[in-house]
Structure 1
Amino acid sequence: MPLQHLGLVGYGEVGRIFSAGLRSHVASCSVWDLKFADFVTGAAVQATQAGVLAQASLAALCAQSDFIISAVTASNTLAVAEAAAPHLRPGTVFLDLNSASPGTKQQAAALIEAAGGRYVEAGVMTSVPPYGIQVPMLLGGALAAELAEQLNAWGMDAKVVSADIGVASAIKMCRSVMIKGLEALVIESYATARAYGVEDHVLPTLAETFPSIDWEKQGGYFFSRVVQHGQRRAEEMRESARTVVEAGFAPTMASAIADKQQWVADQARAGVLAHVGTNAPWQVYADALLAARKD
C-alpha cells in the first residue's frame, strides 16, 4: 500500500504524537485543527516548529493527502467525516481513531465510502502517551488487513478484528465503560473518603481485595488523567452510552460515568485544580475538590 502523503485531522495530544512518530515514514505530513484559525500564534506555529505542515483548512489537508487520520474528540467524529468527504482525493484511506459508537462509525464510513474514500475504523485500546505510535489498536473494515500491514511496517501495533465496521469500536466502547468507570469510581470514593478522614481505612481494604493494584499510585494516575482530559473522556463516555443504547439497553452506568467525568472537567475549567501538579498524589487533587466544595 503506497501511502505517501499523510494528513492528520486534530492536533491535540494524539495528533502531535502521531505526526511526530510517522512523518519520517512518508513523503509529506500535514495537519489541520480548528485551532489553526490563527496562523500567527498558537497551535499552527507549534505544528510548524515540530516539522509538520499546518494546513489552513480541512479541504486543503484533503487535497494534499492520500492517507488521512482523524484524531479528534468523540463528539466530532461524524462531523469530521462529513466535512472531509467532499474534498477527498479518490481512493484516499481514512483511518478513524476516534472513540465513537459502532453506529457513529458506520455512519462515518458511509460518508467516506460514498465520496470515493476507503474507510478503516480503529479502536485505540489504551492511553496513547506511554506508547506513542506503538499504542495497541484494533482495526475494522474491508481495507483493515492491508492497512494493518502498512502501519505495522511503520512500527505501529495494529491488529485486525473484523472486515465489518463497528466491531473494533464495540470492543473499545465496552472497555471504556470499565476503565472510565473505574476512574469515576476512584474519584468519587477517594474524595468522599478524604472528606470523612477515612482514606487510611478504605484503601487498605481495597488492597486486601485486589492486591495486584497499587491503589495509592493508581488513584493519583486516575485523578491526573481525568483532570487533564475529563472533557474528552466525558464525550467518549457519551459515545459509550450510545453504544449501550444501540445494543438495546439503558445506559445507566455509562451516562453516570459521563456525568462524573464532565464534572471533573468543569472543575478543572473553573481553575479549581490549576495549582495541582501533573504527578501530584491523589490527596492533593481531592483536597482541591473539597476546598471548592466548601467555598
Structure 2
Amino acid sequence: MDIAVIGAGAMGSAIARRLVESGARVLTYLEGRSAATVERAKMAGMEPADLDAVAGTGLILSIVPPANAIAVAEQIAAAIRRCGAKTTFIDCNAISPQTMTQVAAIFGGDCGVVLDGSIIGGPPKTGQKGPKLYISGDAADSSAVLGECGLQVRRIDGPIGAASALKMCYAGINKGVTGLGTAMLLAAIRSRADEALKRELQESLPDLDAKLVNAIPDMYPKAYRWVAEMEEISEFLGDDDPAALIFKGMAGLYRKMAADREGGGLLAGQLDRLNNG
C-alpha cells in the first residue's frame, strides 16, 4: 500500500520507517527541507515525491510541528482538488480541537475523509511497540491499515476533536510538569536555593526528581516545537479558564529555553550541573 507521511522529523521519519518495515511504500514531500531532513527521510526508506503523487495516495499522515498544521492541510487539500483525487487525511499533530476543526474545514467534503489523530509516546524503535496513535472520527475504520502496518492504533469513540483533546490533556500534564520543574529549578538557581531544593526533591519527591533529571535535558532540542503546543493547550482550555494562562506562560518558558539553546545553552548548563551534581 502507498502511504504518504508529511514531515520527516524524528517522529515522522521513525513512523515511516515502521511502515516501510511492514511492507508499505511511503512517500513524502521534501521541497524546501534541509539536507539533514532529506537524509533522515532517505535513511527511513521514505521516497521523495511531488504534491500530486502525495495527493494520489490512499492515506496521508501529517506529522509536523503544530504551528505548521494548518499550512500543511491547505497545501495538501489544494493538491487533492487539483488532481481530483479522494484520500484519507489524518492530522497527527499536537493541536487543539478548535484547530483540528479548522483543518477538517479546509478539506471540506470533496477531498475524501479527514480523521483526527494524536501521537502519545516517543518515536518507534526497533523491537518496541510505541508510540500510540489515537484516532477519532473514524466510523469507517479507515485507520485499520495502520495497525496492519506495525503501528499501535487506538480508536476513540468520539468525533473529530476527541483525539486532539486527549493529546492536549496528556501533553498539558506531561510537558507541563517538565516546564514547571524547569521554571522553579531556574528560580532556585537565581536565588541560590538550588542545592537545598535539589536535596529536598530527592528526599521527599524522588519520583518527580527522577523524571526531571531525564525530561529536562530531553526538552532542550524540542523546546522550539513545544511553544506552539503550549499555545494550543491554552486555546483548548479557553479564555474563561484561568488555567489557560498557565500554558501561555509555559509557551513563554519554552520560547526562552529555545532561545537559550540557540544562544549557547547558559541556562541548560546551569540545570545540567544541578541535576548531575
Instruction: Bin the TM-score by the shorter chain.
Output: 0.7 to 0.9
Structure 1 residues 153 and 129 mapped into 2: Cα distance closer, same or farther (>3 Å)?
Answer: closer
> What is the distance in 2 between the residues matched to 1:201 and 1:136?
38
The residue type equivalent to 1:53 in the other structure is E
Structure 1 residues 77 and 256 mapped into 2: Cα distance closer, same or farther (>3 Å)?
Answer: same
Query: Once structures 1 and 2 are overlaid, which stretch shifts more, 179-188 or 18-27?
Result: 18-27
Task: Find the residue that maps to 1:147 and give its secondary structure.
Answer: coil
Aligned position for 1:48: 42
Contact 2:201 2:208 in 1 (8 A): no
> Residue 167 of structure 1: CA displacement?
1.2
Contact 2:198 2:274 in 1 (8 A): no
> What is the distance in 2 between the residues matched to 1:239 and 1:107?
13
Aligned position for 2:110: 115
> CA offsets per residue over residues 55-92 of structure 1, 9 Å max, x none?
2x4344223x2111100110111111111112226331
2:10 alignment partner, one of 5, 10, 13: 13
Aligned position for 1:284: 273
> What is the distance in 1 between the residues matched to 2:192 and 2:267?
24
1:270 alignment partner, one of 251, 257, 263: 263
Structure 1 residues 66 and 103 mapped into 2: Cα distance closer, same or farther (>3 Å)?
Answer: same
Structure 1 residues 95 and 129 mapped into 2: Cα distance closer, same or farther (>3 Å)?
Answer: same
> What is the distance in 2 between the residues matched to 1:244 and 1:34?
35
- How many percent identity over aligned positions? 21
1:189 alignment partner, one of 181, 184, 191: 184
Task: Find the residue that maps to 2:141 and give its secondary structure.
Answer: helix
Asked whether 1:147 is paired with 2:142, we answer yes
Contact 2:121 2:132 in 1 (8 A): yes
Contact 1:194 1:283 in 2 (8 A): no
Asked whether 1:220 is paired with 2:213, we answer yes
> CA offsets per residue over residues 69-117 of structure 1, 9 Å max, x none?
1001101111111111122263311111100010111111122243322
The residue type equivalent to 1:75 in the other structure is A
> Residue 285 of structure 1: CA displacement?
7.8
1:174 alignment partner, one of 151, 169, 172: 169
Contact 2:118 2:167 in 1 (8 A): yes
Query: Once structures 1 and 2 are overlaid, which stretch shifts more, 177-186 or 235-244?
Result: 177-186
Asked whether 1:80 is paired with 2:72, we answer yes
Q: TM-score, normalised by structure 2?
A: 0.85
> What is the distance in 1 between the residues matched to 2:45 and 2:76?
24
The residue type equivalent to 1:198 in the other structure is A
Asked whether 1:70 is paired with 2:65, we answer no
RMSD over aligned Cα atoms: 2.9
Query: Once structures 1 and 2 are overlaid, which stretch shifts more, 228-237 or 184-193?
Result: 184-193
Contact 1:9 1:58 in 2 (8 A): no
2:252 alignment partner, one of 259, 271, 275: 259
Contact 1:124 1:135 in 2 (8 A): yes
Aligned position for 1:101: 96
The residue type equivalent to 2:123 in the other structure is V
> What is the distance in 1 between the residues matched to 2:274 and 2:224?
17
The residue type equivalent to 1:258 in the other structure is A
Task: Find the residue that maps to 2:90 and give its secondary structure.
Answer: strand
> Residue 243 of structure 1: CA displacement?
0.6
Contact 2:116 2:163 in 1 (8 A): yes
Task: Find the residue that maps to 1:11 and give its secondary structure.
Answer: coil
Task: Find the residue that maps to 1:137 and give its secondary structure.
Answer: strand
1:25 alignment partner, one of 22, 43, 50: 22
The residue type equivalent to 1:170 in the other structure is A
The residue type equivalent to 1:69 in the other structure is L
The alignment covers a number of residue pairs equal to: 271
Q: TM-score, normalised by structure 1?
A: 0.80
Contact 1:6 1:26 in 2 (8 A): no
- Residue segments in structure 2 that go unaligned for 5+ positions in a row: none
Aligned position for 1:244: 237
> CA offsets per residue over residues 132-153 of structure 1, 9 Å max, x none?
762123211134x613432222
Structure 1 residues 285 and 23 mapped into 2: Cα distance closer, same or farther (>3 Å)?
Answer: farther
> Residue 235 of structure 1: CA displacement?
1.0
